[in-house]
Copies of this chain bind each other. A is one copy, B any other.
Amino acid sequence: MAVKADIQFMQRALELAARARGKTSPNPMVGAVIVRNGKIIAEGYHRRAGEAHAEVIALKKAGSRAAGAAMYVTLEPCCHTGNTGPCTRAIIDSRISRVVCAVRDPDPRVNGKGVARLRRAGIRVSTGMLRREAIRLNEQYLGFHRNKRPYVILKLAQTLDGRIATATGDSRWISSSESRKYAHRLRSEVDAVVVGMGTVRADDPALTVRLVKGTNPYRIVISQSLAFPRSCRLLDDNSDHKTIIASTEEAIERFSHRRKRGSLAFWTIKKDKGGLLNEQDFIEKATAFGLRSLLVEGGAGTATSFIRAGVIDKYVFITAPKVIGKGISAVGDLKIRKLTEAVHFEDWSFERFGGDMVFSGYPRRDGK
C-alpha cells in the first residue's frame, strides 16, 4: 500500500481523536480507522473517560468486515482491563490482520505490552507513523506519564514590548476577543488553572470557560498572603466546588479565622529556605490530587516562580500588536545574567489569532 494513503488514514485517525479534546482526561485522546482494500470501512474515537475506546467503537462498526482489515490507531492499544476490556483482546478477536500505531502508550500498564500482545497473536504491527503529530495531540497525557506530574502550560497575554499591564495596572484588554476565546479553549483542555494573588486582586477573574464550549477546570490560587479582596469571584462563586487555595499552613489558618472555608479546598504548601512557597511541593500536591495538567495564567510573579522552578512544559505567549513602554513586565527576575542562560525553545511556532500573534514553544530541557 502506498505510504501516502497510510499517512492519510493516520491523519484521519488523528482528526477523529482531536474531536474529544478537553474531554478525555485522565485518558488520552485516541482515534482509530479500519481500512479494507484501501477504503475506510469504520471509524471511532474515545469520547470521554469511562466510555468505550476508539478501537472498540471502530471494530463494532466494522463487524465481520474487520477480518483481514488494517487498523490505524493514534496510540498503542491497551492490554489491561480498566473501565472497559483490553482493546488488544477486541482486535485479536476481530481478526484484524495489521495494526499501525502512531505512538506508544507510556502508561506503565501498556508501554509496549499492547504491541507485544498483538504480535504474539500473529498481527503485523508498526509504530511511529505521524508520531510527532500524535505526540503533540496528547502532549499533556504523554508529559504526565513522562514526568509523573501534571503537564504545565504557561499562558501570558502581553504587548509587543513584553508588558502584561500598564504601570498603573491596566490590563483590560491587552488581547483581542478572538484570542481571549483561544485562552478559554486552553482552559477547557486542562484539569486546572493556576493564578497568583496579584491577578486575583487586579482582575477578579472567574477562571471559567465561557467563550467556548467546554468543561470548567479546577481553579487554584497559589499565594503566600491569601490577601483576597473582600469580594471576589473565586471565593464567592464556588457552587461547583472547584476553587482550591494553595498556601502556607499559617496563612490558611489565618484565612480560616477570618472567612468561611465553605466549599473551598485547601492545599498546604511547604516553604523554601527563602520562605517562599515551594513550587515543587505545589506540583506534588497537584499530582496527588490527580491533576494531569495545569494552565498557569499569571500574573508575572506566579509565572516567574514557575519558570524558575523549571516546571513549565509549554509556553503560550499571546502578543497583542501594541506598545505601552514602562509597565508590568510579563516575566520577572529569572537570575539570568547571560543570554546563553535564557530559556530556549527546542520547538516553537507562532500564528495569527484574531488581532494577535500566538507563540507556542516547548522549552529545551538542557537549559532552564
The chain A residues found within 8 Å of chain B, CB to CB, are 158-163, 166-168, 170-174, 304, 307, 315, 317, 321-327, 329-339, 341-345, 348, 350, 352, 357, 359, 361
Contact = CB atoms under 8 A, between A and B. Distances in A.
A348 B350 CA distance: 15
Contacts of A160: 162, 315, 317, 359, 361
B337 A323 contact: no
B317 A325 contact: no
Given A322-B343, A331-B323, A167 B337 contact: yes
Contacts of A333: 167, 325-326
Contact of A359 (B168, B321, B332, B336): B321
Nearest to A345: B321
A256 to B, nearest CB: 35
Contacts of A348: 321
A57 to B, nearest CB: 40
A315 B322 contact: no
Contact of A168 (B162, B337, B361): B337
Contact of A326 (B323, B334, B343): B334
A174 B339 contact: yes
B339 A324 contact: yes
Contact of A334 (B171, B325, B338, B357): B325
B329 A162 contact: yes
A361 B161 CA distance: 13
